[in-house]
Structure 1
Amino acid sequence: MTNVLDRFNMQGRTALVTGGAGLLGSGFSRTLAQAGAAVAVADMDLSKAQSVADEITAQGGQAAALEMDVTHAGSTRAAMAAARDAFGGLDVLVCSAALDPKFDPHLGQKNEDSFEEFPLSAWQQALDVNLTGAFLSAQAAAPYMLAGGRGVMVLIGSIYGLGGPDQRLYDRPNGPRQYKPPYYSATKAGLLGLTRYLAAYYAGKNIRVNALSPGGVFNDHDEEFTQAYSQRTMLGRMADKEEMNAAMLFLASEASSYMTGANLVVDGGWTAW
């Protein structure tokens, strides 16, 4: 009988993680390396990507840092080629690059911007990164997967791609009302459509495409938000960022060999009420 744990083994595979130095992406990069994959840590911030890659190699893994702007086709193509040149192929793509207003104040958008006043520039920039970025990354990775005869893509969505955000969570009694911006739900829902499209398009080509939709991941949120969010989940808390790693590895590995076009929701029961 085959050991089921062998199906999570990524030895002999090369993976590229977009946003590989980010909150979730850095964990995804480390996890894939721990499972045996050679990992290209791709991020706009090359110094942060290098730090993640250095940590992986210091622990005995294989990793390379790549500077990559997911909004530019030339940059995505160059990064995929560099990963292939470094490790001899490209088997796994994890699309983790994304903009979120909590972590990206440079968008020129304030959290108190209502829908009616939401800046078009912020909407367009987020679409470029969150949705077009995944499109360009998949488009650039696919030729290497087709040439190698196998491939897996994992697109990172969100529970806000399944339903609208509960804007009550962002209320502050002693300050201006805040909002989760419209681009977040729109782009994350779009990623689910792109996932299904790619899975259907590559049917019969030994390329599987699935999505992972996390619930709220704690990252120094204030106590008021943390408590309000936690009360809406069945498990009564926000997720730890490490809790997404095993789910991603499941989708990236042969453990999920009979899954494509699916969306794995890891949300503490948020969407099951």
Structure 2
Amino acid sequence: MAQVEGQLAGRTVFITGSGGVLGSTYVRRMLEQGAKVVATDLPGHRFDGLQETHGDNPDFAIYPLDVGSEEQIVEIFKTVEGDGWQPDVVLNNAAITGEMLMGAGGSFPDFADTTLDDWEKTMRTNLTGAFLVARQMDRDIVGKRPTTLINVASMYALNGAHHPIYDGMPFKNFSAYGVTKAGIHGLTVWLAGYWAKRQATVNTIAPGAVFNGHSDEFQKRVGELIMAGRMCEPDEIADAMLFLASKQSGYVTGQMINVDGGFSAW
């Protein structure tokens, strides 16, 4: 029996922030669908976990990368291509959340107590990092071959946070996170027109509330805001990501795809 090619056969996907809940799911699903995957993340346990899980797969490679470092971004595509990988799909997935910024067990500040340092760290990773990756794509990739850029936003990119659902929770919705995710889509629509004549598409995916060990009470509060009545599983976001990364999305550009169980429709 002839082998059935996967949805992403022939594609090479470059992913930033590959070790998180969604990033690692994208890596797994894309490999399953026949893609070659170039993963990147900061050195540490997430990086090591991906290496341990997929390191024996000849279609997988992983590189240390801080998306907030201009010097590292300037070199990354040259390094990757020098090693024989030719990305034609790029996922701007790296992001720092409020929980990550505060660290395990750290107190979560109210808006009035947000430090400029925390704000700027979030901007540097979530938005400036996405810009740096896209700018380097423009220099090294776009125009050389058909290219796809997918920027990862959030259900809170174009919708205000529902602050009461965080009452009594060990975390809150961090202002800088939503601001950067709105900016991500601004980058998408600007680049979609700028690259249109160079065989490049640019889209935003806006994941909804992804379950990641949240308490029953928090799940209940969030579910009441969502038409589907529940938080989503990472694979449900990956289903839409696979389409955007595939050749079947070739006529889709400049769009935000909401994968949020109907949250943004209410």
- Would the TM-score normalized by the shorter structure come out above 0.5? yes
Q: In structure 1, what is the Cα distance between the partners aligned to 2:106 and 2:250?
A: 41
Q: In structure 1, what is the Cα distance between the partners aligned to 2:105 and 2:16?
A: 23
1:224, CA displacement in angstroms? 1.6
- Letter of the structure 2 residue corresponding to residue 36 of structure 1: G
Instruction: Identify the residue that residue 15 of structure 1 maps to in structure 2.
Output: 13
Q: In structure 1, what is the Cα distance between the partners aligned to 2:33 and 2:84?
A: 16
Equivalent in 91, 97, 101 of residue 100 of structure 1: 97
* Residues 102-145 of structure 1: CA deviation (Å, up to 9, x unaligned): 2342499732x222221111100000000001001111223332
- Letter of the structure 2 residue corresponding to residue 12 of structure 1: G
Number of corresponding residues = 263
* Residues 63-118 of structure 1: CA deviation (Å, up to 9, x unaligned): 1110000001111122222222233412111011001122342499732x222221
Deviation above 6 Å: which 4+ runs of structure 1?
A: none
Q: Does 1:212 align with 2:208?
A: no
**Deviates further, 239-248 or 101-110:** 101-110
Equivalent in 160, 164, 187 of residue 194 of structure 1: 187
Instruction: Identify the residue that residue 44 of structure 1 maps to in structure 2.
Output: 42
Is the Cα–Cα contact under 8 Å of residues 30 and 242 in structure 2 kept in the other structure? yes
Q: In structure 2, what is the Cα distance between the partners aligned to 1:264 and 1:145?
A: 24
Structure 2: gaps spanning 5 or more residues: none
Q: In structure 1, what is the Cα distance between the partners aligned to 2:46 and 2:208?
A: 25
Is the Cα–Cα contact under 8 Å of residues 89 and 144 in structure 1 kept in the other structure? no
Is the Cα–Cα contact under 8 Å of residues 50 and 65 in structure 1 kept in the other structure? no
Cα separation, partners in 2 of 1:231 and 1:271, compared to 1, 3 Å: same
Instruction: Identify the residue that residue 71 of structure 2 maps to in structure 1.
Output: 74
Instruction: Identify the residue that residue 151 of structure 1 maps to in structure 2.
Output: 147
Is the Cα–Cα contact under 8 Å of residues 143 and 200 in structure 2 kept in the other structure? no
Q: In structure 1, what is the Cα distance between the partners aligned to 2:165 and 2:107?
A: 16
Is the Cα–Cα contact under 8 Å of residues 145 and 207 in structure 1 kept in the other structure? no
1:246, CA displacement in angstroms? 1.4
Q: CA RMSD in A?
A: 2.2
Q: In structure 2, what is the Cα distance between the partners aligned to 1:189 and 1:100?
A: 14
Q: In structure 1, what is the Cα distance between the partners aligned to 2:35 and 2:82?
A: 15
Structure 1: gaps spanning 5 or more residues: none
Q: In structure 2, what is the Cα distance between the partners aligned to 1:78 and 1:51?
A: 24
Cα separation, partners in 2 of 1:196 and 1:9, compared to 1, 3 Å: same
Instruction: Identify the residue that residue 233 of structure 2 maps to in structure 1.
Output: 240
| Alignment TM-score, normalising by the size of structure 1 | 0.89
* Residues 148-205 of structure 1: CA deviation (Å, up to 9, x unaligned): 3211000100010111100011012xx89x6311101100000010010111110110
Cα separation, partners in 2 of 1:243 and 1:201, compared to 1, 3 Å: same
Instruction: Identify the residue that residue 28 of structure 2 maps to in structure 1.
Output: 30
Instruction: Identify the residue that residue 162 of structure 2 maps to in structure 1.
Output: 166
Q: Identity of aligned pairs, percent? A: 32
Equivalent in 251, 255, 259 of residue 262 of structure 1: 255
1:50, CA displacement in angstroms? 4.4
Is the Cα–Cα contact under 8 Å of residues 38 and 87 in structure 1 kept in the other structure? no
| Alignment TM-score, normalising by the size of structure 2 | 0.91
Is the Cα–Cα contact under 8 Å of residues 143 and 198 in structure 2 kept in the other structure? no
Instruction: Identify the residue that residue 81 of structure 2 maps to in structure 1.
Output: 84
Q: In structure 1, what is the Cα distance between the partners aligned to 2:104 and 2:249?
A: 36
Instruction: Identify the residue that residue 137 of structure 1 maps to in structure 2.
Output: 133
